[in-house]
Amino acid sequence: MIDPCNGRSGVREGETSLTKSKQKFLYVIRTGSMEQRKSDGVLRARLGSEDLFGFTFLDDQVTKAAGYQAIAIENTLLYLIPHLRLR
């Protein structure tokens, strides 16, 4: 379950990491692992402990088709950093 208020999130195997919030985040994998999949299902990357993702979403010009979905391939703990703090 993602709780952007506390800056961290537990994602269970098979769940997506992206919040339903309008706020965008940079995600830091503390433990566990994730896969990034393009909109057509093609594997973009496999990520593990201490990897980061979410930089793509800093660019407001990135379309949904150019984006990806991040899915936990095991139970994963994420730290969430609001994009507003990175600008």
The 10s digit of each residue's pLDDT in 14-65 is 888 665 566 778 899 999 999 999 889 999 999 999 999 988 766 666 655 6
* pLDDT tops 50 at residue 2: no
pLDDT value of residue 44: 94
Q: Is 38 inside a domain boundary?
A: yes
Q: In the structure encoding, which two tokens stand for residue 64, read together?
A: 């949904």
Would you say 20 and 72 are in contact if contact means Cβ atoms under 8 Å apart? no
Model confidence at 9, pLDDT cuts 50, 70, 90, reads confident
Q: Is 58 inside a domain boundary?
A: yes
Q: Is 68 inside a domain boundary?
A: yes
**What's the whole-model pTM score?**
0.77
Q: Is 8 inside a domain boundary?
A: no
Instruction: Judge residue 30's burial from the number of C-beta atoms within 10 Å of its C-beta, 0-12 exposed, 13-18 middle, 19 or more buried.
Output: middle
pLDDT value of residue 26: 87
Q: Is 43 inside a domain boundary?
A: yes
Q: Is 29 inside a domain boundary?
A: yes
Domain count, the chain: 1
Q: Is 49 inside a domain boundary?
A: yes
pLDDT value of residue 1: 41
Range of the domain at 69: 25-85
Q: Is 47 inside a domain boundary?
A: yes
